[in-house]
Amino acid sequence: MKKHLLWLFLLLSYQLQAQTPLIPAHDPVMIQQNGTYYMFCTGPGIAVWSSKDRQHWQPQKPVFAAAPAWAVKAIPGFKNHIWAPDISFANGQYSLFYSVSAFGKNTSAIGLATNKTLDPTSPDFKWVDHGLVVQSVPGRDMWNAIDPNLVRDAVGAPWLTFGSFWDGIKLVQLRPDLTGPAEPQQWRTIAHRPRDPKLNDSLPGDGAIEAPFIFKKGKYYYLFTSFDYCCRGPQSTYKMMVGRAEDVRGPYLDRTGARLDQGGGTLVLEGDKNWYGVGHNAVATFNNTDYLIFHGYDANDKAHPKLRIETMRWDAAGWPVVSTK
C-alpha cells in the first residue's frame, strides 16, 4: 500500500511538473521551427532553450559567446548580459532584436542579429550580427531603447516598438532590411503613464511602463505592456495590460475607451500568492491556439523568475482572456 501511494505521489508530482515548465527565464519570447520550440530570454549572450513539447526544455548555446564589439563601445561597462530579445521570421530569415543597457539609465541601444535557421545542427546555422538599430542617449532622449518588438503592418512594412519608463512606449518604422529607422524618421509614443514633472530627465521616473509586444488578431493590433515593477523579489508588482487599435500606429484604446498614450490600459494578468509580479510577455500562436508567454516571480522558490506559458482566449468583444485556474 505504501509503495502504491509513493508511486501515485511521484506520478502526480511528475504530471504537475510537466504542466508547469519551471525553468529560469526573464523576458521570454518563443517561436517554432520544424516541430521544435525555441525560447530566447535575458541572459549572458542571450539565453536560448529548446523543447519538443513546451514542457521539457534543454539549454542551448547562447547567441553571443562574447560581447558584441559595438555594444561594448556604446554601453560603458557592458559585460555581455543581454536583455529582452525578440524573435520573428519573415522572408526566409529569423530576426533577433536585443537590448544592451546600463541598469536604471537610458544609456541603451537595440541591436539586430539574423540567422537562416534556429537548428544548431544545421550547416546553415550562423548568427550574423548587424549591430546598432536604435540608441537612446541621456540628456537627449526622454525614452529608453530597450525591450524591442517587431511587428509588420497590413502591407508587410516593419515597425519596431520598444521602451521602458521615461516618456513611455515608442514606435518607429524600420527600413526593409530592419537595420535602422525608415526615412523620414517619425517617432510615436503609443503608451505612456504619468511621470512626476519635477524629476530630472536622467532618471527613469515613476511612470512604470515597459516591455511592449504588438500582436495582430482579426482587425486589431493588440498592444501588451507591463505596468509597475519587476526584479524586486517578493516586492515585485509587475502586471500585464493591453489596448488595441485598427492601425499599428494607434491610437491604442483600452476596454473603457481610454487611450494607452494617456495612461489607459486593461488588465490581462497580475501576480497572486503563488507568483509575485508577472510580466514582460510575448504572444505566440501554435497549432491555431494563442499563448501568453511571460515570466513570473515564483513565491515557492525565493522569488526566482520562471517561464510561464498560458493559453489565451478571446471574449465576445475581442479582448484577451487568460485564466490560470
Residues identified as active-site: 27, 210
SS (H, E, C) the chain: CHHHHHHHHHHHHHHHHHHCCCCECCCCEEEEECCEEEEEECEECCEEEEECCCCCEEEECCCCCCCCHHHHHHCCCCCCEEEEEEEEEECCEEEEEEEEECCCCCCEEEEEEEECCCCCCCCCCCCEEEEEEEEECCCCCCCCCCCCEEEECCCCCEEEEECECCCCEEEEEECCCCCCECCCCCEEEEECCCCCCCCCCCCCCCCCEEEEEEEEECCEEEEEEEECCCCCHHHCCCEEEEEEECCCCCCCECCCCCEHHHCCCEEEEECCCCEEEEEEEEEEEECCEEEEEEEEEECCCCCEEEEEEEEEEECCCCCEEECCC
